[in-house]
Amino acid sequence: MLRLAGARVLDERDLIDVRGVFDNDPVAACMVAARVEVAGLDPWRLGGEMWGSDSKPIRGKVEGLCFSGPNLIPLKGGATAMRMFADRARRRGRMCSSLVGPAEQVLTLWDELQPDWGPAREVRGDQPLMAISTAPKITPDPQVRQVRPSELNRYLPAAISMFIEEVGIDPCAEDGGAGYRARVSELIAAGRAFARFEHGEVVFKAEIGAMSSKVGQIQGVWVRPDRRGEGIGTAGTAAVADRLTRVLNRTASLYVNGYNHVAQAAYRRIGFEQVGQYATVLF
């Protein structure tokens, strides 16, 4: 029986094609590649489904790629592929907290989904994707270090403040913060949360949110408000980038809102260069 054209859930037989997409742009694919490298394409282990659109009505080479999990992340494909992904997403219902990824795919997919899923809480259509593969151009802050599990309660208030500033909602609002606390605790346990402490308080923090075999994505950069403008954020971010490039042998990446010219300038002083364009739709 001829299968109707549309997006399908990928499985292990598609792994070579999926890895090819990751290899073609490892920085843009970091968030999804980090999951697939650990879990493969089994939805239960992956924590979501990997959708693909094929070059033929019956299984062919994967021409479009989209991860559907806590976030909806389209990575590859033109308007036709995004329409297929939108059809599948509509049938499934919105289960994600955001739509994020390469701007061309995200904004095209959002055009398809907006009549059913809109309005969004916020659309951030201009987010330069930046990366550095060599040592930072400025001296990393030697006081920035990995956060210890015993320091969770001191680190968590800074993480919550960062989340509220960046996302615009309180991560503790729905469940008293249990879910967010667990996520932060996991990052600390994995050695991917970094901070500068002064007198027992966090004055700088950042995390490696996703880490594939080639790229680590820095997230959650935050400086205590009364210490901003001193260069702490720049030197601190350089310390995390140095950890990724020198110790972990990965490219360090991050994405930043286009209107945040101060942050972009700081990242460029470190040595980050723009390698792509992201967009985020927040629900």
Q: pTM for the whole thing? A: 0.92
Q: 3-state secondary structure string, the chain?
A: CCCCCCCEECCHHHHHHHHHHHHHCCCCCHHHHHHHHHHCCCHHHHCCEEEEEECCCCCCCEEEEEEECCEEEEEECCHHHHHHHHHHHHHHCCCCCEEEEEHHHHHHHHHHHHHHHCCCCEEEEEEEEEEECCCCCCCCCCCCEECCHHHHHHHHHHHHHHHHHHHCCCCCCCCCCHHHHHHHHHHHHCCCEEEEEECCEEEEEEEEEEECCCEEEEEEEEECHHHCCCCHHHHHHHHHHHHHHHHCCCEEEEECCCCCHHHHHHHHHHCCEEEEEEEEEEC
Average pLDDT over residues 130-136: 97
pLDDT digits (tens, 9 = 90+) for 185-201: 999 999 999 999 999 99
Q: What is the pLDDT of residue 4?
A: 45
Q: What is the pLDDT of residues 198-253, one digit of tens each?
A: 999 999 999 999 999 999 999 999 999 999 999 999 999 999 999 999 999 999 99
